[in-house]
Structure 1
Amino acid sequence: MVTDKDGYVHLIQYLTEHLHLFETNDASVEDAGSVLELFEEQLSAQIIMVCGQNPQLSFAQRNMVIREIDAIVYDLEEILGSKGNHQATAQQSIFVTEFSGLIKNLFDQEIERMVP
């Protein structure tokens, strides 16, 4: 659905180009938990929004969206490695929010093509 598209590949490249943001142990830690927890929270919120904006999605289509999110979180775990377990900084929080919004945009585009 999304993870096999060029747009997703570009987003992963965008993340890898900004990995330096996750290499710092800045003292200005957010109270948002770890980087991975923040990604999971933001992606969950975006997918809830996607499903809410598209009530015409069937049960199978919603499950497909959830499986895709699981695959994305797995990719994030692989890319971030141990950096994902560090407490998120304010700058990282901003990046995660932006990145999650871009993931939502990919889902919006695919759902628009999928649902008449």
Structure 2
Amino acid sequence: MVTDKDGYIHLVQYLTEHLGIFENSQQQSVTEDTVMELFEEQLAAQIIMVCGQNPSLTFSQRNLVVREVDSIVYDLEEILARVSGHKATAEQSVFISELSCLIKNLFDQEIARMISL
């Protein structure tokens, strides 16, 4: 649905290009949440929004969305393995929020295509 699209590959490349944000552990954390916890919270909020904005999605389609999110979280865990347990800094929190919104946009596009078929 999303993870096999060029847009997702570009987002993964965008993340890898900005790994320096996550490797700088000298900054003060602004939350008790770890990097991965923050990603999970942000993605969950975005996907809840996606499903809420598309009440016509079938149970099967919603399950597909959830499976895709699980796959994305797995990819994030792989990419951020060294820093996933670190407390998130302000800069990391902003980046995570922005990336989560971009991921939501991918879902919005794919769901719009799926519904129009």
Q: TM-score range by the shorter chain?
A: over 0.9
Identity %: 66
Counterpart for residue 71 of structure 2: 71
Q: State the AA in 1 paired with 2:108.
A: D
1:92 is aligned to: 92
Tell me the CA shift for residue 30 of structure 1.
1.5
Q: 1:32 touches 1:38 (CA, 8 Å); kept in 2?
A: no
Amino acid at match of 2:15: L
Pairs aligned (count): 116
Instruction: Spell out structure 1 runs of 4+ moving beyond 2 A.
Output: none
Structure 2: distance between partners of 1:26 and 1:33: 17
**Structure 2 unaligned blocks of 5 or more:** none
Query: How far did 1:32 drift?
Result: 4.3
CA–CA distance in structure 2, aligned partners of residues 19 and 50 of structure 1: 27
TM-score by length of 1: 0.98
Gaps of 5+ in 1: none
